[in-house]
Structure formats: structure tokens, C-alpha cells
Structure 1
Amino acid sequence: MPPTTRIGYVHLTVASLERQVAFYTQALGFALHWREGSEAALGTAAEVLLRLSENPAARRVQRATGMYHFAILYPSRKELARAIARLFALRYPNSPTDHGVSKTTYVDDLEGNTIELYVRSLDDAVFEVHNGQMRVRYADGRVGSGRDPLDVEALFRELDEGDALDTPLPEGTRIGHMHLYAAGLDSSMRFYAGVLGFEEGPMFSAFRMGEVGLDAQQPHVVAFNTWKGENIPPAPADALGMGYFTLVLPSAADIERLVERAQAAGIAAERSADGVVLRDPSQLMLILTDRMPALN
């Protein structure tokens, strides 16, 4: 997988387009690029990061594969501090967490889709696998669970007095990773590392989670867990939540190489207007493309 590959945008099925557009623009600072009928596209001023499709009859299906969360990667600690301070000012519930290798908070949108807001902090700690569990060793020698409380006061020192909080999503912000509810760990690792060519990351067997990355500076690009159970079915087409996510590769030739590898592994590849559609072993959809979508 070329190291310049990135996650493009995430598609969600929502029950109320009006309420969800309001949440993403007001609470997180997304720009609304367009809205036509039951569809909308949002993101930074320069890029679409989120597509929404409305289905008022859609329902949340609990015991099914799908999205645990999508993660918004900010360009600096100051911008993450601004985003978390904005949520605090709005009194919107969120969960600041220190993963060691990243500083983050988790927030649910109005329909229960979980979003992680984060920056990488790879100089602060390293991940370790200990008895199949995840833990982190901080640069100062401390050992943490990887799910430690974030020192919010220290993060807020990145902000200057009088800094505005209600600013647009900053340029350079992107979707940093996807974390998925999978039907199996080994089959997911074979697909994302063995077929697509991501760099194989740690497998936390006792924690029932694995991950893949792009290189040492871009770990944890796709993560997967079996916390909802193994061999669970995919959600029906009318379920709330993730419809698909996109992988943006450098060129059409890179896409064709992946298509050949997928087909050699017995995985169907379908051509669409948005790119090449694949389904992972948990029947979760991803689209391979070589460009970000148009803004209008």
C-alpha cells in the first residue's frame, strides 16, 4: 500500500439530515458543501470528509458488523484543544482519553455514531502487547492501559487567551482512521494486510482487536475488533450508520494492482461512478479511488 494512501470520506445513513447537518456544522465546525434532497456533503473548506444520506425509516442494529468510530485527525494539538474546548463550551458530552501514541476525545453524534477527535503523539509513548492485552509505555517510563485519562488542562495550554472556539474545521484536517466492528480478527488482518497491502500492526488477542497502518509515522489506519461477537452478520441496507468509506490511492494504476490482488483472492470488485467497490470479510464496504470528491 503506497504510504501516500489516505482515507477519503465516510458515508453515513442518517434518520434526520437536518439535525445531523446542524450537529456537524455547529459542534464540530464542518463546512456544508452541498445539500440536495436527502443527501449532503460536509468537510473542511477544501475537502469533503463526510457524506450523509437520509432515510427516516432507518434503525440502529446493535449486533452486526459496522463502524465503531471514524476518527478526525487534526493538524496540531492546538486545533484538537480548540475542538475539545468547543465541546466543553457547548456542554456536549465527550470522553477525553490519552492513548499514549495519540491524544483524543470521543463524542457521539445525535444518532449514536461515534467520532474520535485526535492528534498523533508518537514521541510520547509506544504500544506494547502484554499477555494479549494492549498497553503503552510512556517516554518517562510510566506504563498505561492505552485508555488513560487525558490531561485536558495541559492540552488547553496550547490555546491563547481570547482564541475563538467557533472556527471552521481547520485546513489539513482529514479522516485519520477507521475502527470497525468485525466478524473475525484473522480474516480482517488477512484482507487489510495480506490483500490490500497495509502494514500489519499489533494483534491484541485478549483485547479482541487488531490494526493495520501505512508506515511507522502512520500506524492505526484501519482497526477492527470483535467486541460485538465473532461471526456476527452485516447490518441490513436500511440500518443507521456507516454505508462505506473510501481509500484514496495515488493513481489509477495503484487501484488496478489492488483490484488484481483482490480478484486473485476471490474477492469481487465492482466498478461504480465513485470508484472500485470492495467488501471486506465482514461485508463492510470500501471504495477505492484516486481522487477526493468534487465540492459541488
Structure 2
Amino acid sequence: MNIDLTRRTLLRLAGVSSFAAAAAAAARAEGNAAGGGPTFASRTPMRVGMVTMRVRQLDPIADFYRDVLGLTVMERSGTAALLGSGGVKLLALEAHPDAATESRSAAGLFHTAFLMPTRKDLARWLVHAAINRVPFSGFADHRVSESVYLDDPEGNGIEVYADRDPSLWQWSAGTVTMATDQLNIDDLLTLTDTRASDFATAPDGLRIGHVHLRVGDIAQAENFYHGTVGLDPTRRRNGASFLSSGHYHHHLGMNVWQSAGAGRRDERATGLAWFSLEVEKQDLLAAQQERLRKAGAQLATVENGLEAVDPWGTRVRLVKV
């Protein structure tokens, strides 16, 4: 497979005729946002740890994340699967065969963003996915990162991406510059062999760089995730808000593009069960707990931390690492 054939394959798998159209599709999927990076993102005082999802068909979904993303199956039973990379737990799947499918207009998961350690890793994965005829939903250059979008077999959104060096990010008055431009596929593919895949498993440094949520109201979401959880705003536009820890471009995205006015989530439906934010310092965790308690948030104790429930029923675990 040469580069030209790979380009045609990528376009066909994305269902578009040009990479400009693919960037437009990514804009619809991401709302002019950005991605995340493992090295910098994982050194911040808070960072994303795990995502846990309720799925109807456990085996096909677990196989998808193993075969397409290259995650390692660390534990598996008839009712659950745990997958990760480099011995680090990243994704848990819970089987709920009779669950209703969560509506895209409900609050919940917009996408899970898997962060490649390097740009070359992203290129290697892209060739692997294309050779295996994985359907894509968009490609984009977000200026701080380069991203590819797709869905798992039950419609859960996925972003796979690599960060540019943080020294290249542009900040002004606490706001980071991000866009949804056309991804330079030719330049990306110069980093790897396009004739065959050498991507058997995900690199050890793969992490979840950020989680993007559907919420019912941006101001209410910011009050919870900024005001009580303590993430810092980095960008707000077009019905979306982005927050981070430690001057990262964002660990958390939130939007109301399809879910404005959404009410409480149905915990019996498919989709996001909970995600975790890893907290480095005990005093930070204690301050979070106190703010959440004063705000009247629903709280529960979990191993090494606590679980809080946002205004729409999405559960976030704050855990000491």
C-alpha cells in the first residue's frame, strides 16, 4: 500500500471525498476543540485515569478496543473486561445486555480521547486502522494536537491523537488557541511504512488524555467541574467549555451541542458509568472533598478517594495516586 492508496482508503473509510470535508466532520465531532498528550498531560496535578462504560455486547466491544486500538486485555469475565496499556488500567467495560441505548441528546459521554505518546505512534496506528478497514468519522489538526475520530460498535465516540510540543501552544490571557483545520495526512504518513502495519499493540505510554462530556448546561457544568472539582478553564466557545489542570490545553471537554437542557441520566442505559481524575497531592483531594461537601454534591467513598456525581448523574472519581 503506497501513500496515495492510503489516502484514498482513509477518505473512503471516513465517507468523504476530501480531507477538507474530513476536517469539517471533525469540527462537527469536536466543535473546534483539541486533543491531549501523554507526557505533559500525565505530569499535571490532576489528570484523567480510567473510563468505565456500560455496554450491551461485552465481547465485541472488548475485542474492538483490543484489535483496533491495541489495548491489552488485563482481566476478562462473562460480565466485565478491563483493558490497558503498559500495565496501566485505562478502560473498564461492564456488560448490561438488556440496557437501553443512551440517546445522543442525553448527557453523558461525547468521546474518550486516547493519547498516543508520539506523532509517529499516531501515524503507525492510522495505517493499522486503515489496513483493517476501520471506519473513521473525521480527521483534524487542532494546532495543539492532531486527531482522528471514530466510534466503537455501540456508538461510543473515540478520539485518537498526539500532542504537539507544549512549547508550540499559543496562550493569551489564560486561553489556549485551538482550531479544527485540515490534517496533513501526507506529512503524518512520512513517519511510517504505509505498505504494512507494524502496530500490534498500543505503545506502553498510551493514556486517556481527556474525556469529553455531553452536559445540559455549560454554566452549571463549569460550576461543578471548575468551582468544586477544581479544574481550570482554558477555552470556551460555541456551546462548549474546556478545562484542565497544570496548564494543559484540556483534560475535560463539555458541550451542549446535542444535549442542551438534558435532565438526569438513566443509569440503566449504555454509555459512561464513571471516569476518574487522578490527584497527586492529598491536600488537593481534601480541598476537593470539602468544596463538594459544601456544594451539597452526592458523594461516596471509593478506594483511595471519593466519587462525586455531577448535575446530570455522571460519576467522577477523584483518586489519590
Alignment of 1:107-118 (within 5 A): 107-118=150-161
Identity among equivalent pairs (%): 28
Q: Which residue of 1 aligns with 2:217?
A: 184
How big is the alpha-carbon RMSD for the aligned residues of Structure 1 and Structure 2?
A: 2.2
The aligned residue for residue 231 of structure 2 is: 198
How far 1:125 sits from its partner (Å)?
5.6
Show CA shifts across 1:104-148 (max 9, x none). Answer: 00110111001100111245564789xxxx975xxxxxxxxx222
The answer to whether the Cα contact below 8 Å between 1:252 and 1:289 also exists between their aligned partners in 2 is no
For structure 2, the 5+ residue unaligned runs are 1-42
- Name the stretch that deviates more: 18-27 or 245-254: 245-254
Partner residue, 1:167: 200
Q: Residues 161 and 149 (structure 1 numbering): CA distance in 2 closer, same or farther, change over 3 Å?
A: closer
Which residue of 2 is the match for residue 139 of structure 1?
none
Q: Which residue of 2 aligns with 1:27?
A: 68
Separation of aligned partners in 2, 1:233 and 1:116:
26
Pair 1:127–1:182, CA change in 2 (3 A) = farther
**Structure 1 58/33 Cα, relative in aligned 2: closer, same or farther at 3 Å?**
same
Deviation at 1:177, TM superposition (A): 0.4
Partner Cα separation in structure 1 for residue 121 and residue 65 of structure 2: 16
CA spacing shift, 1:127–1:241, aligned 2, 3 Å: farther
1:267 aligns to 2:297 (yes or no)? yes
Q: Return closer, same or farther for 1:50/1:124 CA change in 2, 3 Å cut-off.
A: same
Following the alignment from structure 1 to structure 2, what is the Cα–Cα distance between the partners of residues 51 and 238?
A: 17
Q: Which residue of 2 aligns with 1:14?
A: 55
| Residue of structure 1 equivalent to 2:78 | 37
Letter paired with 1:107: L
Q: In structure 2, do the counterparts of structure 1 residues 45 and 215 end up closer, same or farther at CA, with 3 Å as the change threshold?
A: closer
SS in 2 for 1:263: helix
SS at match of 1:269: strand
Cα distance in 1 between the residues matched to 2:235 and 2:199:
38
Distance in 1 between the 2:181 and 2:152 partners? 23
When the two structures are aligned, how many residues end up with a matched partner?
Answer: 274
Q: Does the alignment pair 1:149 with 2:182? A: yes
Secondary structure in 2 aligned to 1:32?
strand
Deviates more, 1:282-291 or 1:70-79: 282-291
Matched, 1:69 2:111: yes
Per-residue Cα deviation, 1:267-290 (whole angstroms, up to 9, x for no partner): 232113473110122321101112
For 2:40, the equivalent position in structure 1 comes to none
Name the structure where helix makes up a greater proportion of residues.
2
Query: Which amino acid counterpart does residue 113 of structure 1 have in structure 2?
Result: N
The answer on whether the counterparts of 1:101 and 1:123 sit within 8 Å (CA) in structure 2 is: no
What letter corresponds to residue 91 of structure 1 in structure 2? R
Which residue type is aligned with residue 294 of structure 2?
A
Q: Does the 8 Å CA contact 1:97/1:147 hold for their aligned counterparts?
A: yes
Secondary structure at 1:210's aligned position in 2?
Answer: strand
Amino acid at match of 1:103: E
Aligned counterpart for 2:122 among listed residues 62, 77, 80: 80
One-letter identity of the residue aligned with 1:34 = E
Partner in structure 2 of residue 290 of structure 1: 320
Which runs of no fewer than 5 residues in structure 1 stay unpaired? 137-145, 292-296
Pair 1:36–1:262, CA change in 2 (3 A): same
- 1:141 alignment partner in structure 2: none
Provide the residue aligned with 2:242 in structure 1.
211
How do 1:86-101 residues align onto structure 2 when only pairs under 5 Å count? 86-94=128-136, 95-101=138-144
